[in-house]
Structure 1
């Protein structure tokens, strides 16, 4: 599944004519599968596996041909919704009951016979025991990091590592950042990707120039022979 050679050539001709053909993301694209975007550029396949630049919302990101297919007529974007968070367990409030004995009033003295009446005070009741609080579960931490030109993803629950840092593609990192609406984070990731793209383009231009020089040298040697 994905764009074949004939479809890519058709798209290249449409982009060259100033059009923006629609494509649909396949299951290989991950959580945005079913969404529809527009092809705005076809880069050099030799420079990267992700050379089909697609406008998706306000972003323009590179994808591989396997992540895309020609959008059928009337195709609607399939929304990706995150599952609702589980409800937090209700925390019972502790109740305290303290009964204080009330002393009996002293009897009025009599002139004829002095009597003292003792009134036994009720025994105090013990305070209600405090219910035990439920033990909270260990927190889950997912870390997306960028260092030395590589994106890594790791996960831990409390002090236990669930997944050691492993390398992911820049496009996958961008997709994850798009799901989190945090001001400044998406702009920082886009800046990193733009810098990497510029460096890769410069390296590709350098290699093309070196290849052209070598081919010219071979042509001169062939004429000399």
Structure 2
């Protein structure tokens, strides 16, 4: 159970901000599970990471024992000072074996020993203990990896490629040659995409040819001027 006086509404925005700063600094803030966390309510774990709240409602990653599982802020509160980790479970008390004592009566033949049984109290089993708990099934849940995105872009006369997995950038946009961009697009059989790339490349070739012709004309003028200067000499 959650300790008396602890908030049951989960972590506030201010507390989440403090936790985010602590995790960024390499610390692992301690939190306590609320009633909404199921059978582990009242126990303590350590926050080891914060995911993207836009992707899932359960984005606070908590280490509990040897597991690291995501929880929602409503499942957690800041652990009170001096709170320990797992609570020790009470062990059932078993009494000693039954004691056998013989009984005898005067004037009569001995009687067979009478065994006095000592009644052992059996621990009461809660009928709801075997009910499936929402958090118990979560321990076996394997979270799939985040999606991989590869982006081919064209802007201001340059082709770039970038890659990311979820919110993590694997490769920042870097420039590639037009021929490499055309080969990458050829692998994607999407109507209209390859045609659009070819149109861009055609426009670039036309512009490059125009610039080349302009440079040739300027070079011809310079060579003609140089020839005139040689004739004068």
User: Which TM-score tier does this pair reach, normalised by the shorter chain?
Assistant: 0.3 to 0.5
Could you state the TM-score of these two structures normalised by the residue count of structure 2? 0.41
User: So what's the TM-score if we normalise by structure 1?
Assistant: 0.43
Rg (Cα) greater in structure: 2
